[in-house]
Structure 1
């Protein structure tokens, strides 16, 4: 339940920050996952171990989905599930950057009900509970009110601007910016620091779940690349890209993406 799950997630996120910051990013032991799935460090695993012990113990009826835990079908039988990325932006962590984040969420029947994104090195804690709004360090946040896509600043990796992804090859002329953590990008949209974000490639649920609710509770819209509502805790936990923005900009972005480009890797 959001009212009780959110304080639990906040406490767990702060403890995650204490653990992760004991490691020196560039010196932390690191391995590369199979099949080009990216790096993992001893910090990721230490945070995951703490969360996997603490959160299910506090909510024994909940399922578990984490980037750093081998997935099982057990979670699919649970009404509520934790969706966790112990460190989102591991490459940034290993480079000594401060833009990595802990991303923690609870989803009920496929919809996120409580969420936290925490950047310990920047002292930024974004939080939301369904129906209760979104906050940054306890203060309410709202999405931007930019109406015109040509003046909007959108967080997106450069490959997403390939003309093949856009109707008739016409790429919208927004201003592009970038942050390495998907969770942080979504939080920045909820905060109103940026007008929107998009990623057109398949995205893991643990990168998106917490930010989905934060954007929505801040007054924005968060969908897949085709404008369909996000549903979490899928058998294969990947989403068909993500668009997040205030309602007018979301509509403009979604209307201009070519639905037939889904098979093209951005």
Structure 2
């Protein structure tokens, strides 16, 4: 059953990505509606897949790289659906859907991992830690996409090359607003994730902090977003500086997610590309 659910989700997400790419080229609203509802269908099947895996494992379905990538893709799409409902920005999907499709394709290319899970990987604190972190990461993907669009649109305006892409992207004010709301909503989620992760570490390892490489990089990423949010709210940062900082922070986030679990000797280590982690 899980292979059917994940396969359908993968197919629909890739199909919708193609639709969003066609939309940004042709600017056909019917193409957007098709791509949107296909992506929504992919999100539904991915949700069913994750629920099925949660029941089968008895724990959050993100304890190895294969499942973590699938969870990340789900969180990115979920964040997009929420922001699309708020801003009604059709072009946003053309930048967000490829991110989710990349994670889904990456996940599907990895080998299946046996379901046997040690008791240490089960518990409410682990569920809260992983879920809040991924939801925050998904929202930050929206901040990243809006920042990219901002820099593209700003460049066109400054060079006075108002071609076809200029007409397809929204105003700089709208893009900056999306970036702002993404930070406001995403930062509390990753903060909750950091706190619950520390509590879980205390419960499992007897210490809130282990100086684990992924812990250190996660704290650095959190600090990066904290600085950005502070500068936006207290200092008044907006526009280009906020967009560049958002892109930098998201690159740190991706490195922490992949590099912290693959490149370093860590109890968060994913092992081989399909292997299981000791802790998430």
- After TM superposition, the score normalised by the length of structure 2 is 0.29
* Higher relative contact order, structure no. (Cα contacts within 8 Å, ≥ 6 residues apart): 2
Higher helix share: 2
Higher strand share: 1
- After TM superposition, the score normalised by the length of structure 1 is 0.30
